[in-house]
């Protein structure tokens, strides 16, 4: 499913109006009609007979609100419009729709400043339902002064609020509040979902989101190259490998996992076992020699390969030659789970980075070894997949975790493009970025995954799909989607308390769900 930025959506609107010839007023009418249907189903059905207030700005978002007010009034629903401007300042298509309201005896109450707005508050407090049509998707500066007061007041009412296109104050491109944002009960957006609807914290402001088709022709949309998408079960079904009936383990790939140090054997074991759980034919786990007996006991289906260690249970740089021989005949390598940060282990990681001719998945301590040495990525002879959580991403980029979380898509996209790697930025709504600048948002997963070992399972899952022949991007998308879906299946029984190993065991069930019973779209069913 395509996802757009605010500017991309505005460009599609312009193409529709200027190139295709559909008038802007038609688009506004379609938007208002679709939003009205969504409002009636999402909000009004639970509060029949109640009055509705429309908080409207003087731009096109307000114009959509004027269409909604007209359509609600035609249904006999009592509605009042509170215009955060004066009538004479509203222009264009919005003005044309505003001027229809007096003919239906819809009150339009001007509140262009703090004084006027304060005078309206007594009447506003008695309205049980609200439509937010103040700002659209073009907002990117912090809200201050009068509009801050308006949004704070609306939120303080604690009444059901329906947002037109996006909750006012929410950045459409990052999901961050611009100082303050309306907390909506439900939202109707137009054309395509925006990034801000699908990532945190924006998700918490939107409620259920309906995507309304307002009549943008495919050619007008296709003129804007797609840069963002939501991962869907349909996409995953399309890339999952097909197995012949006579397939055997030699057909389904052999993966090498280089991992483990004292105290972190579980991470290595789960990563290797998860690769097998996704269907890799063979998995070899290369570990410090002193820890090999432990790993042999932990991994029944996985082969182990003892490598030279430093005497403290960590891989030594001298393990490189044996590791290089080990990746012969393999399809991919995973590097990092539980490796530790000993100097010799870091030196080994750097040598593997430079020399390994296979697709490489780097996680955990492998990422810590890479921090401050990103130039090594340019020396890679094959594809690379990085799987950082926000803290690891911050170390890689030399910034704070808060900086990463302010715009997760931009952080992942910039790293992927600059260093020609696939980036899997983990967290709520994991982001996958490819070297060509495309980014995907993952809708699966839940808060029960805030538990140790989940990242190790994801590393193994991506590695397992690489071993089976998927491209690095498709392996990352498939691993991320099924990993989250496996956790969602477990959350049907308990919201949290399940373990990473249980998510790993649920991976085949998640794959079956995608193949046989696709999950519903995360945005709810579009009404048009």
Contact 371, 396 (CB under 8 A): yes
Tokens 């995360």 sit on residue = 522
Q: What are the beta bridge partners of residue 194?
A: 4
The CA distance from 259 to 272, in Å, is: 9
What CATH number matches the domain at 2-226, 1.10.275.10, 3.40.50.10260, 3.90.226.10, 3.40.50.300? 3.40.50.10260
190/82 Cα distance (integer angstroms):
23
Structure tokens at 54: 């429309």
Using alpha carbons only, how large is the chain's radius of gyration in Å? 27
Confidence at residue 526, expressed as pLDDT on a 0 to 100 scale: 45
Q: Note the pLDDT of residue 528.
A: 34
Residues 430, 433: Cα–Cα separation, whole Å: 10
**What is the spatial distance between Cα 371 and Cα 409, in angstroms, rounded to a whole number?**
20
Kindly give the pairing relationship between strand 332-335 and strand 303-307.
unpaired
Which structure tokens are listed for 6? 């605010």
The pLDDT value given to residue 441: 98
Same fold for the pair 2-226 and 233-240+251-516:
no
Q: What DSSP element (H or E) covers 161?
A: strand 161-164
Which spans in 203-319 are helix H? 203-206, 218-222, 233-239, 265-277, 292-298
pLDDT of the residue at 519 = 56
The contacts of residue 482 (CB under 8 Å, 6+ apart) are 236, 278, 444, 461, 507, 510, 511, 514
Domain edges within the chain: 2-226, 233-240+251-516
Question: What topology is assigned to 233-240+251-516 in CATH?
Answer: 3.40.1190
Can you say how many angstroms the Cα of residue 254 is from the centroid of all Cα atoms in its chain? 31
pTM assigned to the model: 0.94
Q: So what's the pLDDT on residue 244? A: 86
Number of H helices, E strands in the chain: 21, 18
C-alpha 47, offset from chain centre: 32
Count CB atoms within 10 A of the CB of residue 403. 14
Verify cis geometry, omega within 30 degrees of 0, for the bond prior to 190.
no
> Between helices 500-516 and 454-467, what is the axis angle to 10°?
50
The 3-state secondary structure of 406-453, one letter per residue: HCHHHHHHHHHHHHCCEEEECCCCCEEECCCCCEEECCCCCHHHCCCC
Residues of the chain with pLDDT under 70: 517-528
Q: Are 479 and 268 in contact (CB under 8 A)?
A: no
CA distance 525 to 213: 12
Tell me how far apart the alpha carbons of residues 467 and 235 are, in angstroms, rounded to a whole number: 19
Q: Can you tell me whether residue 256 is helix, strand or coil?
A: strand
């Amino acid at each position: 499913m395509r996802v757009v930025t605010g500017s991309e959506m505005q460009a599609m609107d312009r193409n529709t109006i200027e190139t295709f010839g559909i008038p802007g007023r038609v688009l506004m009418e379609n938007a208002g009609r679709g939003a009205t249907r969504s409002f009636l189903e999402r909000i009004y059905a639970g509060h029949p007979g109640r009055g509705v207030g429309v908080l409207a700005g003087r731009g096109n978002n307000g114009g959509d609100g004027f269409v909604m007010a007209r359509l609600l009034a035609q249904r006999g629903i009592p509605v009042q419009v509170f215009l955060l401007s004066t009538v004479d300042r509203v222009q264009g298509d919005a003005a044309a729709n505003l001027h229809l309201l007096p003919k239906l005896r819809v009150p339009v109450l001007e509140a262009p400043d703090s004084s006027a707005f304060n005078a309206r508050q007594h009447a506003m407090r008695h309205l049980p339902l609200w439509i937010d049509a103040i700002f659209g998707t073009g907002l990117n500066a912090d809200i201050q002064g009068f509009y801050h007061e308006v949004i704070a007041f609306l939120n303080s009412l604690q009444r059901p609020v329906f947002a037109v296109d996006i909750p006012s104050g929410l950045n459409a491109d990052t999901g961050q509040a611009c100082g303050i944002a309306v907390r909506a009960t439900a939202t109707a957006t137009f054309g395509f979902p925006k990034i801000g609807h699908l990532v945190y914290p924006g998700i918490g402001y939107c409620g259920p989101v309906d995507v309304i088709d307002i009549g943008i022709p495919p050619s007008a949309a296709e003129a804007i190259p797609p840069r963002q998408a939501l991962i869907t079960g349909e996409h995953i079904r399309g890339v999952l490998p097909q197995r012949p009936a006579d397939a055997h383990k030699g057909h389904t790939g052999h993966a090498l996992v280089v991992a483990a140090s004292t105290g972190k054997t579980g991470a290595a074991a789960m990563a290797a076992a998860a690769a097998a759980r996704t269907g890799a034919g063979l998995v070899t786990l290369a570990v410090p020699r002193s820890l090999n007996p432990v790993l042999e006991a932990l991994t029944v289906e996985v082969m182990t390969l003892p490598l030279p260690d430093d005497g403290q249970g960590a891989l030594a740089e001298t393990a490189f030659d044996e590791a290089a021989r080990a990746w012969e005949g393999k399809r991919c390598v995973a590097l990092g789970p539980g490796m530790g940060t000993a100097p010799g282990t870091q030196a080994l990681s750097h040598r593997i980075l430079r020399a390994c001719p296979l697709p490489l998945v780097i996680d955990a301590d492998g990422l810590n070894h890479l921090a401050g040495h990103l130039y090594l990525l340019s020396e890679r002879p094959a594809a690379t997949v990085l799987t950082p959580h926000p803290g690891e991403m911050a170390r890689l980029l030399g910034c704070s975790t808060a900086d990463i979380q302010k715009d997760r898509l931009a952080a992942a996209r910039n790293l992927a493009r600059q260093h020609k790697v696939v980036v899997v930025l983990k967290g709520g709504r994991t982001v996958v970025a490819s070297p060509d600048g495309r980014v995907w948002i993952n809708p699966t997963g839940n808060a029960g995954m805030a538990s140790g070992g989940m990242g190790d399972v994801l590393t193994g899952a991506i590695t397992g799909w690489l071993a089976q022949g998927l491209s690095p991007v498709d392996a990352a998308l498939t691993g991320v989607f099924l990993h989250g879906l496996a956790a969602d299946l477990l959350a049907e029984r308990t919201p949290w308390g399940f373990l990473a190993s249980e998510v790993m065991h649920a991976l085949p069930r998640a794959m079956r769900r995608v193949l046989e019973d696709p999950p519903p779209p995360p945005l709810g069913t579009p009404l048009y």
